[in-house]
């Protein structure tokens, strides 16, 4: 860890304002071209500038407060690409676009850190993407981070636009949940996997909505392809959870719009198929338990041990290796709770964690209020009336507990759960106004 270079230098002081102005000019052009007459245009520049400010602040915290982060690791790989590019641009391109096993001898000498065998494919991909961007930023940290933050902003904007198209009367509230939610804005920046996954998620979510609206265009297919590639390249589990949530949303959309006297029979058939799959899964529980024990849970416990050795706000979920039915349910609920509602106010060791705890506390109160007002069942069943809400709820109930299960550190958790935030917060705010306006449907 100590051998990794600092991420900030004097070059950042010089280049960051220049690249920020260039990106801001592009944002202004983009706003005028596509949102000239739209009431949504007022959110574009403030949301982007806030994202940039959070990016710079988080970089300062990583450099001068924490002293180490995943950003240091990724920037080390990106720096090797830049050093190779300065020697010969072809070497830099070779490090980025060729598999490690096909590098030339010179490339191997220039990229010893990138080619370490212990790094996973996702980490190596992060080296290459940040390194490629660095080829146009003189290998300087903050300009690279600004480009990745821009992609994160565009991904969150895609999520915002889908939600607004589905609920146009609530666009002001949705702007808060998708563009200005504190933890989402702050932790989805810098040279990390999470901002790129949010960009990919936004592309896929927008493409999914277009398909459900029967808008079949080449651009839709291109967005779906790029978004899927990004999620699979950096955090494949987000893609798989997206796929499950998308499938279920398609099912709800099909059932809602299917007009036939055989509609009840089709619903019953789908229910029987799901029930059969559940029975088969339970019948293979011993096999699944062995597989989990050998692979997934081994990784979970390994991560837990690593987090315990690091300084910071560590939490532990007990009995995660209990594969009984009640054990699995208990682990799921504990993981869901920690992802959505922790850290609690009494668990915070510093000011940054206090901000996260305050936001989690508000979300917890909001959730409990809606659960009571909607008599628990209504909190969930209202999602079945709308395809976007269906996706938001299913995606949250799958990704949030997974983030809570594998993090074991509140600092890491807030990044891992970032893709959930715009969906769950939007779900909550729409349920709230459903109650307030006393409507039977959204």
Note the pLDDT tens digit of each residue in 137-192.
Answer: 999 999 999 999 999 999 999 999 999 999 999 999 999 999 999 999 999 999 99
User: Does residue 241 lie within any of the structural domains?
Assistant: no
Domain boundary among 191, 210, 240: 191
Helix-, strand-, coil-residue percentages of the chain, each rounded to 5: 80, 0, 20
> Does some domain include residue 228?
no
Q: Look at residue 276 and tell me if it is in a domain.
A: no
Q: How far, rounded to the nearest angstrom, does the alpha carbon of residue 138 sit from its chain's CA centroid?
A: 28
Over its C-alpha atoms, the chain yields an Rg (Å, rounded) of: 23
Of the candidates 14, 21, 234, 3, which has an alpha carbon nearest to the alpha carbon of residue 141?
Answer: 14
Same structural domain for residues 175 and 303?
Answer: no
pLDDT of 267: 61
Q: Where are the alpha helices (DSSP H) in 102-181?
A: 105-110, 121-134, 141-166, 171-179
What does the alpha-carbon distance between residue 39 and residue 194 come to, in Å, rounded to a whole number? 29
In a domain? residue 201: no
Q: How confident is the model at residue 10 (pLDDT cuts 50, 70, 90)?
A: very high
Same domain, 303 and 405: yes
Residue 224 or residue 283, greater confidence: 224
Is the pLDDT assigned to residue 291 strictly greater than 50?
A: no
Instruction: Pick the range with the lowest mean pLDDT from 51-55, 82-86, 130-134, 326-330.
Output: 326-330
> What was the pLDDT predicted at 303?
52
Which one, of 51, 28, 215, lies nearest residue 149 by Cα?
A: 51
Could you say which of 191, 206, 227 is where a domain stops?
A: 191
- Average pLDDT, rounded, for the chain: 85
List, for residues 11-48, the tens digit of each pLDDT value.
999 999 999 999 999 999 999 999 988 999 999 999 99
Q: If you average pLDDT over residues 235-260, what whole number do you get?
A: 80
Residues 177 and 304 in one domain: no
Residue 259 covered by a domain: no
Decide if 275 is inside a domain.
no
CA–CA separation, 442 and 357 (whole Å): 30
pLDDT above 70 covers a percentage of the chain that reads 83
Lowest-pLDDT range of 77-91, 305-319, 379-393, 425-439: 305-319
Coil vs helix vs strand at 314: strand
Q: Are 291 and 162 in the same domain?
A: no
Evaluate if residue 427 carries a pLDDT over 80: yes
Residues of the chain with pLDDT > 90, as a percent, come to 54
- Answer yes or no: is 330 within a domain: yes
Domain end, chosen from 162, 191, 220, is at 191
Q: Three-class SS of residue 409?
A: strand
Q: Specify whether 303 is located in the same domain as 187.
A: no
Does the residue 257 lie in any domain? no
Largest CA distance in the chain: 71
Exposure b/e, 120-135, CB count within 10 A at least 16 = b: eeebbbbbbbbbbbbb
**Count of structural domains, the chain:** 2
Calpha distance 300→185 (Å, rounded) = 27
Print the domain residue range for 392. 284-437
pLDDT tens digits, 294-353: 444 444 555 555 555 445 577 778 777 766 778 778 888 998 999 999 888 888 877 778
Count of all residues that appear for the chain in the document: 442
Tell me how crowded residue 332 is: count the other CB atoms within 10 A of its CB: 15
Rounded to whole angstroms, how far apart are CA atoms 440 and 404? 33
Task: List, for residues 249-288, the tens digit of each pLDDT value.
Answer: 887 776 666 565 556 666 666 666 656 655 555 454 444 4
Whether residue 52 is found in the same domain as residue 167: yes
Residues 431 and 319 placed together within one structural domain of the fold: yes
Same domain flag for 300 and 429 = yes
152 with 291, same domain: the answer is no
Residue 187: name the closest of 427, 397, 411, 424 by CA: 411
Which residues are within 8 A (CB) of 339 and not within 5 positions of it... i.e. 6 or more apart?
Answer: 400, 401, 403, 404, 407, 413, 416, 417, 420
Q: Up-side HSE of residue 377: CA atoms within 13 Å toward CB?
A: 0
Q: What is the pLDDT of residues 115-133, one digit of tens each?
A: 888 888 899 999 999 999 9
What per-residue confidence (pLDDT) applies to 192? 94
pLDDT classification of 440: cutoffs 50, 70, 90: very low
Are 26 and 142 within one domain?
Answer: yes
Query: Whose CA is closest to 51, among 195, 220, 247, 226?
Result: 195
Residue 75 · residue 85 · CB < 8 Å: no
The DSSP output letter for 63 is I
Q: Are residues 23 and 154 in the same domain?
A: yes
């Amino acid at each position: 860890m100590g051998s990794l270079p600092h991420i900030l230098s004097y070059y950042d002081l010089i280049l960051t304002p220049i690249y920020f102005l260039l990106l801001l000019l592009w944002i202004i052009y983009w706003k005028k071209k596509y949102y000239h007459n739209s009431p949504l245009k007022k959110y574009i520049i403030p949301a982007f500038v806030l994202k940039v400010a959070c990016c710079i602040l988080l970089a300062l915290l990583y450099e001068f407060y924490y002293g180490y982060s995943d950003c240091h690791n990724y920037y080390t790989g990106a720096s090797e690409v830049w050093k190779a590019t300065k020697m010969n641009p072809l070497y830099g391109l070779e490090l980025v676009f060729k598999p490690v096993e096909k590098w030339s001898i010179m490339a191997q000498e220039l990229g010893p850190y990138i080619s370490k065998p212990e790094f996973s494919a996702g980490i190596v991909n992060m080296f290459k993407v940040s390194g490629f961007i660095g080829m146009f930023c003189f290998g300087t940290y903050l300009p690279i981070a600004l480009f990745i933050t821009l992609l994160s902003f565009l991904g969150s904007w895609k999520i915002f636009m889908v939600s607004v198209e589905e609920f146009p009367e609530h666009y002001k509230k949705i702007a808060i949940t998708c563009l200005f939610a504190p933890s989402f804005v702050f932790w989805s920046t810098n040279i990390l996997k999470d901002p790129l996954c949010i960009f990919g998620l936004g592309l896929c979510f927008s493409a999914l909505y277009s398909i459900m609206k029967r808008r079949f265009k080449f651009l839709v297919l291109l967005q779906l392809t790029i978004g899927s590639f990004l999620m699979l390249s950096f955090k494949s589990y987000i893609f798989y959870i997206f796929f499950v949530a998308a499938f279920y949303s398609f099912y709800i959309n099909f059932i809602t719009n299917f007009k036939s006297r055989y509609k009840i029979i089709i619903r019953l058939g789908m229910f029987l198929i799901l029930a059969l799959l559940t029975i088969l899964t339970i019948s293979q529980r011993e096999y699944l338990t062995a597989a989990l024990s050998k692979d997934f849970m081994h990784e979970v416990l390994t991560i837990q041990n690593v987090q315990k050795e690091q300084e910071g706000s560590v939490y532990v979920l007990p009995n995660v290796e209990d594969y009984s039915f009640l054990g699995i349910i208990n682990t799921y609920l504990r993981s869901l709770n920690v992802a959505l509602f922790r850290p609690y106010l009494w668990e915070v060791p510093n000011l940054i964690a206090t901000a996260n705890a305050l936001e989690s506390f508000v979300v917890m109160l909001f959730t409990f209020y809606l659960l009571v007002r909607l008599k628990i069942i209504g909190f969930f069943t209202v999602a079945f009336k709308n395809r976007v809400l269906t996706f938001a709820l299913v995606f949250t109930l799958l990704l949030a507990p997974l983030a809570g299960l594998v993090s074991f550190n509140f600092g890491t958790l807030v990044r891992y759960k970032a893709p959930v935030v715009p969906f769950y917060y939007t779900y909550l705010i729409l349920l709230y106004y459903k109650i307030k306006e006393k409507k039977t449907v959204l």
